[in-house]
Structure 1
């Protein structure tokens, strides 16, 4: 049975990619931080199988590279997602790519971001440099560049108040996390997508104000959109972050004020062979879950 290493398996993206791989009957080797007690997803039967595919956890320290050779040994592919706004994302990418090459792993998917060359966002530029670093080692690597997820705002919509620290009138082509995970599983199971760069954006350009209006209609109760001042964010949600992470996110909010985050849906539609899921679709499912 095929086995794929998922780096960042305990996060929401890693869990979604794990689900998508398990649904294809792929065994997942889930990289987690040493000593981590975070749960990873398991237990979905693969198509046409009597037994559920498996998830095996393996400790990996991305900052030092400890555990990478063991984690890579014998896998057919790697999905690499670095910790959010990590200052050493490029170094992590180098260590992961070097370990993949040393173990003879050629099928490699890197989770980047939509518009990684946008100079107004330092953490996007680190993604762009990490892309180049990975491809300097793994020539066949595939890069996924997703937009922001619908799921980032679902809980707030269900709670009745969507509060964001950027303009309510900037447009976003948000994408369904499970659609992105489906593409990731396709990349890791189908060699025809090697050495591709895939922009993964959703089917609609919506502002947060418009998203709140649609949520009101879907849920049948008022959902408010509100803008949080930067000062309030900095002394509130941003207070626990490192100075570097806080500055990165503040730069992102300023970029969102100016340009939002918008991409084309064509690539995602073609890869899925169907229409990607909309904000309304995702929210309606969450409301009935």
Structure 2
């Protein structure tokens, strides 16, 4: 039986699955928790020693969500928490990033043993098997993070000493989307914003102006 059991709040999405898979690979018990567990999250997480917290994408009030989760974890007797934030959380023109910045503050003031991970854009968000229609400039630099690397980093900070009180920006490689597309032999086209969500439109506008640059040395050090 695994010596450590981790509740992964938001564990049924692609991020949660990557974390659960990486924990399983190092013989840590992962308990994925989703919306069905919310009626009594504290009871669902009971028996876990630690938690990894992922909020739903573009949540309209992430600080309220994270605050409720932290309350439930404390009620469940959990003392160790890792919060899944975002690279450059304090970016005033991206409201969902600001929600994560406020949530980070809640985590830091929770009196729990916390670590915060700030991932760059996922490589897996780009389909490099066909032409890419991109609603922002393909020539801005990004720190891209592979989901497998994210999972491995989460497993490290949850199972090894020395990471309590740390905040880590994570990226596997730095590139532009055009460089990735060229390497894969596919075309990339800069297209208008489809305006499907105001938060996404704000993000695309920021990306168009600045990209989202994240260094790779922190992840390399974590993974050895």
Q: 1:180 aligns with which of 140, 147, 150?
A: 150
Counterparts of 2:34 and 2:113 in 1: how far apart (Å)?
25
Q: Secondary structure at the match of 1:99?
A: helix
- The question of 1:169 aligning with 2:139 is answered yes
* 8 Å CA contact 2:156, 2:223 repeated in 1: no
Note the C-alpha offset of 1:186. Answer: 1.1
| Structure number with bigger Rg | 1
* 8 Å CA contact 2:67, 2:103 repeated in 1: yes
* 8 Å CA contact 1:78, 1:107 repeated in 2: yes
Note the C-alpha offset of 1:74. Answer: 1.4
Give the TM-score taking structure 2 as reference length.
0.95
Note the C-alpha offset of 1:203. Answer: 2.8
Runs of 4+ more than 4 Å apart: none
Q: 1:140 aligns with which of 106, 109, 113?
A: 113
Q: Which has the higher contact order (CA 8 A, sep 6+)?
A: 2
* 8 Å CA contact 1:81, 1:110 repeated in 2: yes
Q: Secondary structure at the match of 1:4?
A: strand
Counterparts of 1:196 and 1:145 in 2: how far apart (Å)?
11
User: Structure 2 stretches of 5 or more lacking a match?
Assistant: none
Structure with greater strand percent? 2
Aligned CA distance change for structure 1 residues 138 and 71 (closer, same or farther; 3 Å): farther
Counterparts of 2:87 and 2:111 in 1: how far apart (Å)?
21
Give the aligned partner of residue 165 of structure 2.
Answer: 195
Q: 1:126 aligns with which of 99, 123, 127?
A: 99
186-195 vs 120-129, greater mean Cα deviation: 186-195
CA offsets per residue over residues 191-213 of structure 1, 9 Å max, x none? 32111101102332x22211111
* 8 Å CA contact 1:101, 1:137 repeated in 2: no
Give the aligned partner of residue 283 of structure 1.
Answer: none
User: Structure 1 stretches of 5 or more lacking a match?
Assistant: 35-59, 217-222, 239-245, 274-289
Counterparts of 1:83 and 1:138 in 2: how far apart (Å)?
24
Give the TM-score taking structure 1 as reference length.
0.74
